[in-house]
Amino acid sequence: MSVTVPVGFKASGATAGIKPSGKPDLCLIVRDTPDEHGCAFAALFTANFVVGAPVIVGRRQREQALKGGPAPRAVLVNAGNSNAATGQQGVINAEQCMAAVAGLLGCRGAEVLMSSTGVIGRPLPVEKLLAAVSGLVRGLGRGEAADAAAAAGIMTTDLVPKTALRQVLIDGRLVSIGAIAKGSGMIAPRLDSAAGPHAPGAGHASGTMLAFITTDAAISTPDLQTALEQAARPCFEAISVDNHPSCSDTVVCLSSGRAPWQTPPAKHADQPMPLLRPGTPAFAAFSAALAAVCEDLSEQIVVDGEGATRIFRVEVRGAATAAACTQIAREVVNSPLVKCAIHGQDPNWGRIVTAAGNAGVRFDPEQTSLHIGPVCVYQAGVPVTAALSDPALKAHMAGKKVHCVLTVGPADTVGAMTGCDLSKQYVVINAEYTT
Amino acid sequence: MSVTVPVGFKASGATAGIKPSGKPDLCLIVRDTPDEHGCAFAALFTANFVVGAPVIVGRRQREQALKGGPAPRAVLVNAGNSNAATGQQGVINAEQCMAAVAGLLGCRGAEVLMSSTGVIGRPLPVEKLLAAVSGLVRGLGRGEAADAAAAAGIMTTDLVPKTALRQVLIDGRLVSIGAIAKGSGMIAPRLDSAAGPHAPGAGHASGTMLAFITTDAAISTPDLQTALEQAARPCFEAISVDNHPSCSDTVVCLSSGRAPWQTPPAKHADQPMPLLRPGTPAFAAFSAALAAVCEDLSEQIVVDGEGATRIFRVEVRGAATAAACTQIAREVVNSPLVKCAIHGQDPNWGRIVTAAGNAGVRFDPEQTSLHIGPVCVYQAGVPVTAALSDPALKAHMAGKKVHCVLTVGPADTVGAMTGCDLSKQYVVINAEYTT
């Protein structure tokens, strides 16, 4: 249960034949309530300087929506072709698909947002898409089957569909937030902001991460954009499968404003939900639930990283700033040598410490300590030799989640990243088949 | 033929039992001419903020030599243990080994430089080293066998020994430059400078690269340091096996000043070679030969990268500066997705273009073109669809050296990096064995 749990949303999935495998490759999510009080739209796109055509179009839609123009009420997604590095024709192709869906839904093309994921640099097979959209619109529904069809339609190398749901009681209303997402290669999202793309750090970007979130909270478009940026960035930017941010990473949130009363009051039961306002406890409750959805999805994505058999979280403490801590953590989770060691259940902590030394953040090894799980392996610059034969270390390395805490100084700061191991299967997926 | 070709050098190799495999793990290179006119020493070390004990000691030796103090005349190298992340005891252990060799050579401990490579964070097995050094000193010799023993003694996961030799005629003297080197994992050198370590870029560092160079040119220590920095950095920093600079990367050059006459002149045949002076044609000729040695070694290292089956060179043109071009090239050669595509002979150029977009250097995709080998696959932001069926592209991808030229703008700038593919064997080497 996911995107059709919030009041006002329908979804569907279909197979257009874009993927050579013949698996589902289309998804449609639609708000079917009128454009009135509390409807909103928000989006974040990749900070890669090379972007897919849908990102070019989507950024324009976001800009219009923030200026009070038409906000997307539907999201059309295809897998199997990213429509990226396809030039001006890519934009024309995307707009043609958006217009076709809009025609069937009775709205304008600008009210349909499109996302595409899959092989880069091949023309979007527009005819296959156009032939499939009427079935897609006819198939729109609510409930478990609709949610599952939508989640399946966006998968690429994902082994499992990814969904999340949180519900929170706000001023007597049951606000739902439902979501679907996909990974699982080219995953190291760095997201932009409506206020202007922020430059990605050098060396960070991979695979396509897509997340589509629906909610029935009542909120304005600018406030939803703020809430989404605050909730989504810290979660999605804290994972990396292969340190190659995609040209198509996208997080979208649609709201209907129709959250129902949990128990309708005696009076004014037909009053719409008041708009959530920043700075209020209601806004904070909504933001926390939205962050929980993003956290849930981001963990599912990294767990299902291409070829992954386990994940590892690197928590860095004590650098001058939290950002510096995160920068060190990012370097560690992206080191191929660390990733291979994690894969081999090898507590090769020297690779972790030396990867940290490459992050461009100066620290003093003599003030540095490292825990792997419950075991301290390196204390104030000196190896804890006995640790390597500690059965607790061996047991921790054999688990599905390896957890490292690297302390590089005395400051009260922390930053963390979660990555996955590097297996032979990753190479098989990315070398032996064209994706 | 390598380090003992220049006049005044001997070398040897031995097995101290540091490696569990029982393979050779010690190397010694010694200048056996007196400390007089034209002897010099230069060194570059890793820019990683976490460094091995030999790097801590070596930096002090370099500082002393540049101040006119004793310059190392011998280099002791062990493989199998990097003596890194070993605290103050690591420094004591290194100095003990240096003193033992110095005692046998009849010089001071500060005149012996030490380098160590291998597993990180384990105490150096000093007793094994001390037991082996007398044999190592007794074994010192010249010629093919001595050079081969020295090159073998520094190998870790290298499949083949790496040697280089260049000879150049300078003002009637035959100047020789010989070298040995090792890779082959944790290779993405970022080197410091005697003027102070330069900060590594975020995201760049792996395995240990060691290179030991001898020459009989006559040159001062400060000028040799300058020549080495100019020659070595552009070569060694332009390769990456796995984007994880080691804590131990080291390039050392020793000179004896004894380059012989090619044909002794009738008069003043016993005059020593005049010192090479920066700004002269003689200095330029020496620098070019030194650069050729570094270039030769760096290519051997990347060809023998762990698990590598082919190398690929990424040349980026047209960004605002050459450094920006190199930054983009670095991002491309380090993308696991690009590396896997190269491994699979898959001309998946979308991965190359999107990796470029993550380098933190803004460029306009509509002004961007990409050639793979002789074939243009992406022209001014538009895919060249026919290219994918071009037999010339397929043939180029199947070769041992893949060459890409990515043009991102009109500027007359260029930067390049050479990487290798990512194979299942890389994972086997780094996951299935503790290294």
- Contact status of B431 with chain A (Cβ, < 8 Å): yes
| Second CATH level (architecture) for the domain B311-431 | Roll (3.10)
Tokens of A126: 């527009």
CB B350, CB A84: distance < 8 Å: yes
DSSP E strand boundaries for B186-307: 210-215, 239-240, 250-255
| Burial call A243-269: b when 16+ CB within 10 Å, e when fewer | bbbbbbbbbbbbbbbbbeeeeeeeeee
ω into A298 cis (within 30 of 0):
no
Task: Express each pLDDT in A193-233 by its tens digit.
Answer: 887 654 443 333 234 899 999 999 999 999 999 999 999 99
pLDDT score for B208:
86
The CA distance from B127 to A229, in Å, is: 58
B90-119 residues touching A, CB cutoff 8 A? 119
> Does the pLDDT value for residue A111 go beyond 50?
yes
B9-303 under CATH 3.60.70.12, yes or no: yes
Contact A121 B331 (CB under 8 A): no
Contact B365 A85 (CB under 8 A): yes
Catalytic residue selected from B117, B208, B214, B250: B208
Residue A309 burial (CB count, 10 A): 15
Q: Best of B49, B86, B116 to disrupt the A interface by mutation (most A CBs within 10 Å)?
A: B49
Q: Best of B55, B93, B427, B433 to disrupt the A interface by mutation (most A CBs within 10 Å)?
A: B427
Tokens of B160: 């083949």
B238-257 residues touching A, CB cutoff 8 A? 242-247
> Does the pLDDT value for residue A176 go beyond 90?
yes
Specify the DSSP element, H or E, that contains A273. Answer: none
Q: What is the pTM of this model?
A: 0.93
CB A217, CB A170: distance < 8 Å: yes
CA distance B340 to chain A (A): 5
| Burial call B409-426: b when 16+ CB within 10 Å, e when fewer | beeebbbbbbbbbbbbeb
B11-30 residues touching A, CB cutoff 8 A? none
| pLDDT tens series, chain B, 435 aa | 999 999 999 999 999 999 999 999 999 999 999 888 889 999 999 999 999 999 999 999 999 999 999 889 999 999 999 999 999 999 999 999 999 999 999 999 999 999 999 999 999 999 999 999 999 999 999 999 999 999 999 999 999 999 999 999 999 999 999 999 999 888 888 888 887 654 443 333 234 899 999 999 999 999 999 999 999 999 999 999 999 999 999 999 999 999 999 999 999 998 999 999 999 999 999 999 999 999 999 999 999 999 999 999 999 999 999 999 999 999 999 999 999 999 999 999 999 999 999 999 999 999 999 999 999 999 999 999 899 999 999 999 999 999 999 999 999 999 999 999 999 999 999 997 654
The rounded mean pLDDT for chain A is 94
CB B289, CB B175: distance < 8 Å: yes
Q: CA of A433: which chain B residue's CA is closest?
A: B344
Please give the torsion angle defined by the CA atoms of residues A82, A85, A89 and A91, in that order, rounded to the nearest 10 degrees. Answer: 60
Q: List chain B residues with CB under 8 Å of A429.
A: 340
Q: CA of B423: which chain A residue's CA is closest?
A: A427
Residue ranges, comma separated, of all CATH 3.10.20.340 domains in chain A are 311-431
Instruction: Kindly state the percentage of chain A with pLDDT values over 70.
Output: 97
Q: List chain A residues with CB under 8 Å of B82.
A: 350
Q: List chain B residues with CB under 8 Å of A120.
A: 348-351, 353-354
Tokens of A110: 């600008």
The CA distance from A328 to A360, in Å, is: 8
Q: Which of A418, A354, A336, A67 is nearest to B308 (CA)?
A: A336
Does residue B208 carry a catalytic annotation?
yes
Q: Best of A51, A326, A427, A434 to disrupt the B interface by mutation (most B CBs within 10 Å)?
A: A427
Catalytic residue selected from A117, A208, A221, A368: A208
Secondary structure (DSSP) of B373-423 = TTEEEEETTEE-GGGGG-HHHHHHHTSSEEEEEEE-SSSS-EEEEEEE---
Residue ranges, comma separated, of all CATH 3.60.70.12 domains in chain A are 9-303
- Contact status of B344 with chain A (Cβ, < 8 Å): yes
The values of phi and psi at residue A420, to 5°, are -130, 170
The verdict on ipTM greater than 0.85 is yes
C-alpha torsion sign, points A62, A65, A66, A69: positive
The CA distance from B205 to A357, in Å, is: 9
The CA distance from B429 to B306, in Å, is: 7
Averaged pLDDT, A378-407: 96
Q: List chain A residues with CB under 8 Å of B385.
A: 122-123
Specify the DSSP element, H or E, that contains A417. Answer: strand A414-420
List residues bridging with B80 in a β-sheet.
Answer: B118
CA distance B423 to chain A (A): 6
Could you tell me which residues come within 8 angstroms of residue A20 by beta carbon, excluding any fewer than 6 positions away? A80
